[in-house]
Each structure stands twice: as structure tokens, then as C-alpha cells.
Amino acid sequence: MHSLAQEIQGFSKSSLKKQCTHVTTVTGRKLLERRSDGGDGQEQVEELEEGGGCGFVEDKSLDLQVGVVRPFLLLASQDAAHDIDTLLRYKVSHVLNVAYGVTNPFPDRLVYKTLQILDLPDTDITSYMEECSCFIDQARDKDGAVLVHCNAGVSRSSSIAIGYLMLREKLLFQEAYSQVKMARPSVRPNPGFYQQLQLYKP
């Protein structure tokens, strides 16, 4: 009967299965990691084709597109809200930050209002309309311009802009939505916000 020590000594590394691991990096590069045979634990990494895989593809380009809903009401992502050249170009005086966990970088130059709203379908977006609209009115009354932004400038901030047009200009949902979409084509309120706005009766 073999002792455990003899069994371990007689064990050959070559009897181990060779291992290959497919890896997709955050930038979409596809790599193949291979364990080499010599038992020295070395790995060979071979690059496969670029992109086209699953996995998160990081977009490094800044989204500085500003949608002009009204001369005093602008809509954008946090990138534009953090870019002083963009803010100056659009003569922004007020910033309504409805993102979660996004800082306000120019408090000495601009008037900020921050409401940390979660971009979840069951968040009651319409409950924020009156407070946000009052802040937008402040900018308008001072001949200023307010930039409304969330993280991507797609769901929360667009919902606030749509709600403002419905509340203050008495537009129906479809008309308000069309005007905001025309100003910033990438807008898309999440399904919960979309439904709440359709039912919103200011």
C-alpha cells in the first residue's frame, strides 16, 4: 500500500489538465490566458480580436452635449456640469444637480441645488417637481440659465425638464417629452419615470 508521501512524489505535473482562461477586459479587449507546462506557474497571455465581446466597454469620451430646452433651461450630463468652458459658453448661472453622489465643483461661481435622486423606476420623481421648478424659476427670473444634470443626462434630469414644462407651461406629456427629446436626443426616462410623467397631473 502506497504511503501518501510516495503518492505525492510519484505525481507528475504533466498529468494536470492544461488551463486556458478567456478574459474580456473593461475596455473590451479579449485575452486568452494559458498556464504553461513547466510547472513554474508562468502564464502566457495572448490577445484575441478587439472588442465585440460581452463585458463592459468603457467610454472615455466626455459627453459635453448640452440640450437647450428653453433659453434658461439646459439639460446635460455630469461631464458638462464639470466642464467650466461648457458652462461659460452656455452662460450657466445655476446648476440643478439631481445625480447621486456627484459633487458641485464651482460653488464660488454658480448657484447650486442638489437633490440626490436614485434612478430607479419606483423612485417618486414627480414628488420633486415643485421644488425643482421653483429653482428653475429663480434662474429664469434673474435672466440666468439653469443646467439640470444627473449622471448621464438621460433619465432623471430629462424627467425633471419634462415635468417642468408640464407644470409651468401646462404642456401635455407627449408634447413636453418631444421638446426635451428634440433638445437632447439621448434622453430616455426609465420606465417608471415615463409612466409617472404620463399620469402626472400638475
The residues annotated with a catalytic role in the active site are 150
How many angstroms separate the CA atoms of 70 and 145, rounded? 9
CB atoms inside a 10 Å sphere around CB 76: 27
Are 82 and 45 part of one and the same domain? no
The domain boundary, picked from 23, 42, 60, lies at 60
How much is the mean pLDDT over the chain?
84
Give pLDDT, residue 29: 62
DSSP state, residue 169: S
Place of cell 434673474: 142
Beta bridge mates, 24: 30
* Structural domain containing residue 43: 14-60
How many angstroms separate the CA atoms of 6 and 11, rounded? 9
Are 56 and 143 part of one and the same domain? no
Mean pLDDT, consecutive 10-residue stretches, the chain (202 aa), reads: 63 58 59 56 51 48 92 97 96 97 96 96 97 98 97 96 98 98 96 98 93
Give pLDDT, residue 2: 60
